Amino acid sequence: MDQDKLSQLKTMTTVVADTGDIDAIRRFTPTDATTNPSLILQAAQQETRRARLAELARQSVDIDDALDAVAVEIGSEISELVPGYVSTEVSARLSFDTDATLARAHSLIERYERRGVGRERILIKVASTWEGIRAAQQLEREGIRTNLTLLFSFTQAQACADAGVTLISPFVGRILDWHKAATPDADFSGDNDPGVRSVKAIYEHYKGHGYRTIVMGASFRNRAEIEALAGCDRLTISPKLLEELATDRGTLSRRLTPLDAETSAPEPHAEAEFRWAMNEDAMATEKLAEGIRKFMDDQRKLEALLGELRR
């Protein structure tokens, strides 16, 4: 086999760069790119960006305005390097506020359009809470595409499909983390990886019921998880793991194959059903809350940095 595994993966799955690192995006030539508060913080801390960040911070009316300016600045640079979608996240602080999420999403889209980046290029990234999914449903009706993130359960995936969102990002590695902590002696190698099994189940359910929502596996801990999901609609991958795939010249086999829809879609969940199902799923509930907190921790660090630069 002459091809590296990254090249092979690109023949069966749309490869997405999970980074705000412009140099990494240039090197690996992904179709799409995703960002989040943690990745924006990493990009913003680069010394080469400090002068421009200071300029954006001083031009902004407040810290929220500065945060959006930075996110759109980096997202616009990325849009010049990838032909597909760029995901930009609404503040995790708004994860339980539908109206505020809508307002922030509209602001982000307006900023992109002022920079000449059309809304068809942008995925507004929102946490997969009940309130986030409701905001995404409204945005999709307005022609604004969405990416529902921090997704850990079949319940969240079903609600996102019912809402007609463009794309979901079911997490793999963080599910594995939870199960390793809960049952440290269990064998989670290969197809026993609970994060891999979760994405496969969602993918097969979506294809079997004719949902158009794109499944994009995310949050990988190792290359084996990526290889086990070869053939998924999209996979968003960190530069470190992209490098590992690019330097491995072994054979990569397709593991997921889209099938024709065989059954009609089930009835959508009501809010009470969604909340009860999440309550019954300790892993999904804990990882969703933890993910929101972690994104906010990094957002606060970026807020502090921008606050200093505004002085």
Please name every residue paired with 149 in a beta bridge, in sequence order, or none if there are none.
127
Per-residue confidence (pLDDT) for residue 261, from 0 to 100: 67
Q: CA 89 to CA 37: how far, in whole Å? A: 7
CB distance 229 to 254 below 8 Å: no
In this predicted structure, the answer to whether residue 259 has a pLDDT above a threshold of 80 is no
CB atoms within 10 A of CB 224: 14
Per-residue confidence (pLDDT) for residue 190, from 0 to 100: 85
Q: Is 270 exposed, middle or buried (0-12, 13-18, 19+ CB in 10 A)?
A: exposed
The size of the chain, in residues, is 311
Give residue 150's region: left, alpha or beta (phi > 0; psi -120 to 50).
Answer: left
The residue with greater pLDDT, 37 or 127, is 127
Instruction: Give just the sign of the alpha carbon dihedral 296, 38, 90, 175.
Output: negative
In this predicted structure, the answer to whether residue 2 has a pLDDT above a threshold of 90 is no
- Which helix H or strand E contains 275, and what residues bound it? helix 271-280
Residue-wise pLDDT for 159-169, tens only, equals 999 999 999 99
Structural domain boundaries of the chain? 5-310
CB distance 284 to 152 below 8 Å: yes
Please name every residue paired with 86 in a beta bridge, in sequence order, or none if there are none.
33, 122
Give 1's pLDDT tier (boundaries 50, 70, 90): low
Tell me the one-letter amino acid at 216.
M
| Active site residues per annotation | 125
Query: What integer is the mean pLDDT of 13-40?
Result: 94
Residue-wise pLDDT for 282-297, tens only, equals 999 999 999 999 999 9
Per-residue confidence (pLDDT) for residue 44, from 0 to 100: 87
% of the chain beyond a pLDDT of 70:
98
pTM above the 0.85 mark? yes
Residue-wise pLDDT for 199-212, tens only, equals 999 999 999 999 99
- Write the CATH number of the domain with boundaries 5-310: 3.20.20.70
3-state class (DSSP) for residue 146:
strand
φ, ψ for residue 208 (rounded to 5)?
-70, -20
